[in-house]
């Protein structure tokens, strides 16, 4: 599925929904993938990714984020997404290259990673997200597409945020 604003920075995106053999109904999984080229250095882009308390400013589905300590590999934090409070942990932390986290609650599990690749004129960002959700509680037909577009809108907002900071740095 192509994002409606793909020509404005998101090169392509897709959402795949499936039922995993390890999960019984009413659980389902979905994976999302999007890419964008951001005219900013990997360091600048990475600084926004690891600034978890500011995620609500640019990640549409995040309403609240609380980090008790600094963000680093293994650090725990709490976020509220889709109206669900998640306990999360940083699972991947490679400065200027890769950032990932895993979050869970009784009804929702999420793995999200951002991979940063230096390219001209800045950074290619590859965003991946896998969700396992209790579909009867969280995903209504109108919400499933909203979740997908929120993932893509986060890429567009990250692009604007990093590029609006001034000249490539």
The pTM of the full predicted model, rounded to 2 decimals, is 0.79
Q: From 1.20.1260.10, 3.30.70.20, 3.30.530.20, 3.40.109.10, which CATH number describes the 6-161 domain?
A: 3.30.530.20
**Cα 33 from Cα 28, distance rounded (Å):** 17
pLDDT at 23: 41
Which two tokens mark 156?
């567009």
pLDDT at 8: 46
| Ramachandran category for residue 96: left, alpha or beta (phi over 0 → left; psi -120 to 50 → alpha) | left
pLDDT at 5: 43
pLDDT at 109: 86
pLDDT at 145: 61
Q: How many Cα atoms occupy the beta-carbon half-sphere of 62 within 13 Å?
A: 22
Residue 4: which residues within 8 A CB-CB, separation 6 or more?
A: none
Residue 159 has pLDDT above 90, yes or no: yes
pLDDT at 53: 96
pLDDT (mean) for 14-29: 47
């Amino acid at each position: 599925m192509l994002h409606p604003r793909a020509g404005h920075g998101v090169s392509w995106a897709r959402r795949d929904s499936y039922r995993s053999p390890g999960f019984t109904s009413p659980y389902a999984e979905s994976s999302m993938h999007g890419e964008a080229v951001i005219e900013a250095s990997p360091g600048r882009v990475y600084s926004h990714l690891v600034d978890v308390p500011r995620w609500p400013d640019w990640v549409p589905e995040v309403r609240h984020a609380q980090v008790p300590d600094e963000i680093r590999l293994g650090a725990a934090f709490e976020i509220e997404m889709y109206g669900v409070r998640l306990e999360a942990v940083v699972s991947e932390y490679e400065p200027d290259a890769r950032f990932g986290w895993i979050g869970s609650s009784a009804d929702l599990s999420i793995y999200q990673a951002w991979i940063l690749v230096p390219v001209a004129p800045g950074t290619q960002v590859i965003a991946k997200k896998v969700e396992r959700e209790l579909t009867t509680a969280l995903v209504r037909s109108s919400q499933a597409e909203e979740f997908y577009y929120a993932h893509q809108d986060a890429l567009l907002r990250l692009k604007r945020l990093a590029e609006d900071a001034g000249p490539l740095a």
